[in-house]
Amino acid sequence: KLVYRASVDRFSEKAFYEACGTNSPTLMIITSNYNKIFGGFTDRSWDGNGYKCSSSSWLFSLDEQEMYPIKPDSTHYAIGCYEGQDGPVFGVGCDLLISFDRSGHHCYSNLGVTYDAQKYANDDEKRKSVLAGNHYFTVEEMEIFTVRF
């Protein structure tokens, strides 16, 4: 079930947390200004502040047709919730950070810190750009769905 669409519900920290805060599990689908489609899944809710533990969270790139599971030793940092401060974060190393600052200089990907991107271990540039098309990016659209298994 669709619970949040940035273009309809407003691209803002407040709108995101009002729509998604208590929902779980969720699937986040993002389109970047580089026309890349990617996102993440978590079984944890987005409410509160701080990092949440999960062994079931993962990131994905639709363009690359790849999934990046959380590293077994990093489960305590699956997602970061910063209600009242900023947008959602996947991983302690900001493997994926969504900022609601529309300048585009605050959304970024640092894939491979908390989520497994071993394939790109020797290619730092590709590791940081594989999700959104560049290390820094702007969100063109973001949708959040609650999912049932």
The string of pLDDT tens digits covering residues 111-130 is 999 999 999 999 999 999 99
CA angle 40, 41, 42 (to 5 degrees): 130
pLDDT in tens, 56-111: 999 999 999 999 999 999 999 999 998 777 789 999 989 999 988 765 557 999 99
Would the pTM of this model clear 0.85, i.e. be above it?
yes
Q: In the prediction, which pLDDT does 64 show?
A: 97
- Gap between the Cα atoms of 17 and 65, Å rounded: 29
Name the band, by pLDDT with cuts 50, 70 and 90, for residue 3.
very high
Task: Kindly list the distances between the CA atom of residue 49 and the CA atoms of 68, 85, 130, 135, 147, in Å, as whole numbers in the listed order.
Answer: 24, 9, 28, 25, 23
